[in-house]
Structure 1
Amino acid sequence: MLIDSHCHLNLLTNFSSCGSITISSKNIKTTNSSCFFDTKMYDTVFLDSFIQRALENNVQYIQTICTKLEDLPIVLKIAEQYKNVFASVGVHPCEVNDKKRLITDLEIIELTNHQKIIGIGETGLDYYHQPYNKKLQRDSFIAHISAASATNLPIIVHTREADEDTIDILTSAMHNSKFSGLIHCFASSKNLAAKMLDIGLYISVSGIITFKNATNLQEIVKYIPLDRLLIETDSPYLAPTPMRGKQNEPAFVRYVAEKVAELKNITSQEVENVTTHNFKILFSKFEKQVSLI
């Protein structure tokens, strides 16, 4: 059994007529100061087929990730519609700016009462997408960490070109309070991986590890202990080899598992078993909710 630990089902749609997904595509509307497509692209007609293909590829469970509060109702609607889909709540750093009020830890805590919400995020730091406000991103990140600590739900961390500040914030926070979490779609340095493992976080890898030029990242995957590893698609982005040029989807997480198996010189079945076990340990609310279904 496979679990896609991180995707954006509200952004999946039928892109067969316009080929691969790129930010510059005239067919895709993007939100201002955001690295995400507009949720208006969400298409219920095609979502059934994505879920079905996932099941056919042994992807039994999926976590769909919230990136902005405006999208939370549709994220929860999807999670409520499908028994095998769970959700998170959070505000992505690209959605943090001086035009929006910062969410508080208490607001996040309140939202986690929904039975299908099993994680907090994605949150974190992004110094790649312009413009950005370091202070606002930091304040938002800390609020999410506080909520994670209070609820015992894992924090889902996005970090891009912000390694040192990410290490700083998470390490300091861990000294003051205990929380669990993961670095999602890991594509950074071995130093960041080591520091995150040192404070007890998990690391989730995506289709990036299958790319031909991702040799440094592939070496880091070999370094990460299997019992601290998760797998994801981050769909609709980052389709793995051999699906490059297509819209990514949860079914393709099997290619990530196969690449991990190749890099660690073990079987795909071992990767499936361990990453599924890791997910259940980290997202403990998931295990409880599955037993109630």
Structure 2
Amino acid sequence: MNLTPESKVLIQGFCEFISGTHVAQMQAYGTNLVAGVNPGCGGQELHGLPVFDLVEEVIEQFGVIDTTIICVDPYDVLDAALEAIASHISQIIIITAGVPPLDMVQLLRKAEACETLVIGPNSPGIIVPGKILLGTQPSEFYTPGVVGIVSRSSTLTYEVAYELTKAGLGQSISVSIGSDAIVGSSFLQWLQILDEDETTEAIVLVGQPGGGSEEAAARYIAEAIDKPVIAYIAGRQAPPGKSWRQTGTLATVIGRDPNFGTAQSKLAALKEAEVPVAERPSQIPELLRKEIKIN
């Protein structure tokens, strides 16, 4: 991963998923935004960025691009991401929500073959507090520190960061992996990244109803993660048999445990893995201080 202020960053598309305010916020934070790509708008300037028709034109002028932030319409995401992969961009952040599942299947097959890291879709991106902002996360909730955050939610990610900041616990990195039906990088990948990250001393995992990613994460934590992990699962009072729209549960499979995807299933898996679970976001700092020596 290349997440430094020197990393060259591209934006593909300027639609409803990103605004001039978000672009200005990234620039103010020190993110090295070099250009935008918007087919048919080449030669123009938008939000203070030179705009090109093709990613390859950006590469020709600025050299290797480390990260692209994709903000095109949902049915254009696959083409935009494949264009980025063809230009050897190693990190793709998809802000767009509602990407067709079959498009994501095709994209992830290509990304895996090319060793490209995909975050999202339906993700506000990544922030390394004090260094770089990639996406639409509100930087004012963050402060540099040693706690890594990995989340499926968007707004819950910010709330957890705010609770940590209020308690004097800074963050090393915060990522929302996205909450569409099919997303790129998983809890497992980011747990491994944070476990190996030298600046991270503890990890906060934020989950919500739908799917089985939290259960898989709980097993992985028990088997492979050495650093302390604190979890928070939203939606404990969600009605059984219901799923939040943004979690993108595709279908109920015949023969599946009726408890599958519920908050209760996730809480049980985390309990079995002996992962402390906060009852509310404001309790996370207290649990962290019990697990590690943070002043």
* TM-score of Structure 1 vs Structure 2, range by shorter chain: 0.3 to 0.5
TM-score (normalised: structure 2): 0.32
**Rg (Cα) greater in structure:** 2
Bigger RCO (CA 8 Å, 6+ sep): 1
